[in-house]
Structures are given as structure tokens and as C-alpha cells.
Amino acid sequence: MNIVLLGPPGAGKGPQAKVLSKEFNASHISTGDMLRDAVKKRTPVGKLAKSYMDTGELVPDNIVIGIVTERISQEDMRRGFLLDGFPRNEKQARELDEALRKTGKKVDIVLYFKTSPEISVKRLSGRRVCTGCGANFHVKNMPPKNESSCDYCKGRLIQRDDDKAETVKRRLVIYEKETASLIDYYKKKGTLREVSGDLNVEELFEEIKRLFAKESLRGAT
Ligand code: ADP
Ligand code: ZN
């Protein structure tokens, strides 16, 4: 099954993608993670992307579409994928459809994480990330055992530059301006399913499993 996760920053797409990819044995593709990795390694893509990411703007389409089409052409995509953070505008959505069509694939379901702005802002501003292994924590919802070091690798925990208050505001504006119209785009295609991004990871995981169980039942009758 090929799934797209859609929703504002702080909707919990990343943590949910992690549990869903295990449950459905699908590959988790996060364009945010891929770009952050490129920045860390100072690759040409990373150098280009950095200034956009730091200010909360979208990285230019040709760069992001390039890395995604490259990724979805790889062998492990055959078992299905979970796209997290892509597409973020209609151009990316159309290019994704086209790239998938060429290889006989399609987006089966789009999970739209409907999320209250207050909740997403709280999640983003409290998020702490490990500089060693990339693990995510939250000062209130998922506190690390030790305030400044990672539970898993003892790496240093930091706040992402784009999780600072001003940039969070900008990211939410960009989401409304560029990405929110994808709700209609996928509604028209009949693939959109709305779930609640306000729930915690476990509760939402249960909601999504129930939704999938209902869908396959419907498919069988
Ligand atoms: P979030 O979903 O929490 O905003 P991500 O980790 O998905 O964060 O993305 C971080 C940043 O990476 C974005 O603000 C943007 O600059 C860049 N980015 C990620 N995915 C895309 C995309 N599909 N198109 C353009 N820019 C992207
Ligand atoms: Zn770590």
C-alpha cells in the first residue's frame, strides 16, 4: 500500500509514519529528514536547501521532486511506501502522480491529519532532536530521561532552528498558502481520509488501523 501523510507542521506525521511503516512493512520517506541529512553532509542539495529550511520556506520544487523521484525508483519501494512531508503543493502532487504512473504505481490513500493550530505549535516548540541519532523528544509529551542528552545514544539534544517561534509561524503560513489546497486535490481523486492529528501517537495509530480495517472490508463486499 502506498500512503501519503498530509497535514500541517506539528501534526505528528513523522512519529506516525514510524509506527505505520513497521505495521505495514512499508518504506518511510521523509523529505524533511532527507533534506536535513543532505544539509548535515554538506552535499550540493544540502547547501542549496539550507537557507530555505532555516527560514521555514519551501525548498524549490525541482530539488525536492528530484530527490523523491530518485527515491521512489529504488527497489524497496515495491513493498509500499509512506510519504511524509511530500507533496507540499500541487506541482509536487502532479509530478508524484506522473512519476508513479510511469512505474505502474499510484497513491492508494492520503491520510489527512486534521490538527488544531494550538496543538501543533505546542508540539513544535517543545520538540528536541538528538544531534547524534536524530531521535525526537518533547519537553512535556515525551521528555528524555536526562534534560540535555539522548536516551538512546547520549547525543546532545537541541531545538531545530526551524522550531523556534518565528519560524514556526512562518511554516504554518506557508502550509496554508501552499499545501492546504492538496486536501481538495486528493478529495477529488477520492483518496483522502481525514484522521485527527490532535490525538497522541498510540490513539491515532488505533484510529488508522480501524480505518484501514473498514476500508478493506468495504473493498471485499
Ligand atoms: P514539518 O513537516 O514539521 O514542517 P519537515 O521536516 O517535513 O517539517 O520539513 C522541514 C523543512 O524541509 C520544510 O520547512 C522545508 O523547508 C523543507 N521541505 C521538506 N519537504 C519539502 C517539500 N516536499 N517541498 C519543499 N520543501 C520541503
Ligand atoms: Zn541519539
User: pLDDT tens digits for 162-199?
Assistant: 999 889 999 999 999 999 999 999 999 999 999 999 99
- Together in a domain, 23 and 109: yes
Domain that holds residue 28: 2-115+165-220
What is the Cα–Cα distance from 27 to 3, expressed in whole angstroms? 10
**Number of domains making up the chain:** 2
| CA dist., res. 111 & res. 196, Å (int) | 10
- Alpha carbon nearest to ligand 1 atom 18, residue: 32
Buried b or exposed e, range 200-216, using 16+ CB within 10 angstroms: eeeebbeebeeebeeee
* Alpha-carbon span 20 to 80, nearest angstrom: 11
Q: What is the pTM of this model?
A: 0.92
| Whether residue 149 sits in one domain with residue 49 | no
- Specify whether 75 is located in the same domain as 133: no
Q: Whose CA is nearest to atom 4 of ligand 1?
A: 9
pLDDT per residue as tens digits for the range 85-96: 999 999 999 999
Q: What is the CATH number of the domain that holds 35?
A: 3.40.50.300
CA distance 109 to 3: 5
77 Cα–ligand 2 center, Å:
27
Query: Do residues 203 and 133 both lie within one domain?
Result: no
Residue 185 Cα to ligand 2 middle (Å) = 38
Active site residues: 13, 88, 127, 160, 171
Residue listed under C-alpha cell 503543493: 89
Chain mean pLDDT for the chain: 94
Q: Is the CB of 59 under 6 A from ligand 1?
A: yes
